[in-house]
Homo-oligomer: A and B are copies of this chain.
């Protein structure tokens, strides 16, 4: 459970609304942590109950009122303490791997189709990681007055890039082996 702490981190840069935080996610953390808007609202709400956040309502003409959350001293302490703790291990849950595991029950075309899809997604990510993400990260950093943290953000992006590259290589090698095994099977 670290969504609350992720939100604490973003609110440390500046007070913000749930809606705005969602757009902040979209241009940064979203690449390694997907969150929906209702989830953000619910979490902010429970964080306020726990005393980690305060909020002010800002009325607007025509638009719905904004609820601007601010981190409290308790929230600040909680965040600092969380950063110290050893991060939870990643729990990989990869449906493609399960299907490949049961590849013996599938026909060749369907299985290789799934793997080609994965390869395409990785390639698309590589493109956006090179062209789209870094500018949008810089844009968000400006908005949040967090320019000094860009180096850290680019390091997280670098892992995404390496992961995508690795995925492409694994897909190619896997497809090669599956084709080879399939030819053998058809011959016999």
Interface of A is mostly: helix
Q: In this assembly, does A143 line the interface, its C-beta being within 8 Å of a C-beta of chain B?
A: no
29 inter-chain pairs at a CB distance below 8 angstroms, sorted by A residue, are A2-B95, A2-B98, A5-B98, A6-B98, A9-B101, A32-B94, A32-B97, A32-B98, A33-B93, A33-B97, A83-B99, A83-B110, A84-B110, A86-B117, A87-B114, A87-B118, A89-B121, A90-B95, A90-B96, A91-B93, A97-B156, A101-B152, A101-B156, A103-B149, A104-B148, A151-B177, A159-B170, A162-B166, A166-B166
Flag if A83 contacts B106 (CB, 8 Å).
yes
User: Which residues of chain B come closer than 8 Å to A96, judged between CB atoms?
Assistant: 87, 90
